[in-house]
Amino acid sequence: MKNCLLHKPVMVDEVVEFLCLKKGYKVLDATIGLGGHADFILKKIQPSGALIGIDRDKAALEIARKRLNKFNKICKLAHANFKDLDKILKDQRIEKIDAALFDIGISSYQIEDANRGFSFERDGPLDMRMDQSSPLRACDIVNKYKRIDLEEIIRDFGEERYFRRITGFILERRKNKPISSTRELAQLIEEAVGKWYKFQKIHPATRTFQALRIAVNRELDNIKIALGKVLDFLNSGARLCVISFHSLEDRIVKFRFKEFEAEGRGRVVTKKPLTATADEIRENPRSRSAKLRVFEKY
Ligand SMILES: C[S@@+](CC[C@H](N)C(=O)[O-])C[C@H]1O[C@@H](n2cnc3c(N)ncnc32)[C@H](O)[C@@H]1O
């Protein structure tokens, strides 16, 4: 199962501990990816119980299906957006769950595949769709959106202070021909703002690529909708773990958990987000930006 090696699940020990898993539990893994966390969860709940795994990425889901085949009696997978988790749980005739995990963002499996167009380090089509059956690609935004909308995306989803200059360069370039590859866009951004990024740790295209990815996949809307729904399905005492990889998502999770607490629906277990240990970061540098927040339903 070589593909599994392309994505190491982050903070597995913490997730397993904080979900307080027991044999026979019903668990929702809203972002099953390649099934890394699910593998550990299933080992804890087997031989009964159930794990419902959702992912928007059909290719990832197929890898997870093979990997988790040994648990096929208690593991059900759905190709869907987690914002529709209510419908998916109803389809599975599950009224209540004992634990839920969201490990949001993209997987290394998606980043590493140049054809998916997520990475400015690999040349590929400017795509960035997690669900390859959805209609909007990054190239549509870059080549068709109005200046004001493009500026807003790069500013708000990328927190990129040079959003105006980058948008200006994109608009100038696309007058001649559409921008269609990741390399072309990354080089253009470097031309636009490279000099200001000389002494920064990140590549000049990092923030714009993040912004486009969030816009293509409507990532922030999806997590807001899903968090609004998931609590209704949790049993009393059930835990919800959310791992996020950038501050925009983490902020949403943090405020939503506070609201739930203020509404008397449960308690925030992690007053500060948990982060990966130094050992894990050494082994898996992607875990460096992971933040885990945990909520317990009353
Ligand atoms: C960080 S990976 C999860 C990795 C997984 N925990 C593992 O151990 O293999 C995030 C996954 O969430 C999926 N995803 C992101 N947003 C989603 C959404 N709104 N609905 C369903 N899946 C989503 C991505 O396609 C990706 O496979």
pLDDT at residue 125 in the model: 98
CA distance 12 to 41: 9
Q: Which atom of ligand 1 is nearest to the CA of 31?
A: 12
Q: Whose CA is nearest to atom 8 of ligand 1?
A: 36
Q: Which atom of ligand 1 is nearest to the CA of 222?
A: 19
Residues 154/163, Cβ–Cβ less than 8 Å = yes
Please name which of 33, 39, 89 lies closest in space to residue 58, comparing C-alpha atoms: 33
CA distance 74 to 71: 6
Please name which of 273, 278, 279 lies closest in space to residue 251, comparing C-alpha atoms: 273
Query: What are the pLDDT digits (tens) for 184-223?
Result: 999 999 999 999 999 888 999 999 999 999 999 999 999 9
pLDDT at residue 4 in the model: 52
pLDDT at residue 27 in the model: 98
Q: Which residue ranges form the domains of the chain, and what is each CATH number?
A: 2-109+219-297 (3.40.50.150), 123-217 (1.10.150.170)
Q: Which atom of ligand 1 is nearest to the CA of 38?
A: 8
Which amino acid is present at 3? N
> Within 13 A of 90's CA, how many CA atoms are on the CB side?
6
pLDDT at residue 3 in the model: 55
- Ligand 1 site, CB within 6 A: 7, 9, 31, 33-37, 54-57, 60, 81-83, 103-107, 130, 222
Residues 183/232, Cβ–Cβ less than 8 Å = no
Tokens found for residue 109:
């499996």
pLDDT (mean) for 166-180: 97
pTM: 0.97
Query: What are the pLDDT digits (tens) for 140-151?
Result: 999 999 999 999
pLDDT (mean) for 258-278: 98
CA distance 193 to 179: 17
Tokens found for residue 85:
């988790």
CA distance 171 to 178: 10
CA distance 253 to 223: 8
Query: What are the pLDDT digits (tens) for 49-106?
Result: 999 999 999 999 999 999 999 999 999 999 999 999 999 999 999 999 999 999 998 9
Query: What are the pLDDT digits (tens) for 9-64?
Result: 999 999 999 999 999 999 999 999 999 999 999 999 999 999 999 999 999 999 99
pLDDT at residue 1 in the model: 45
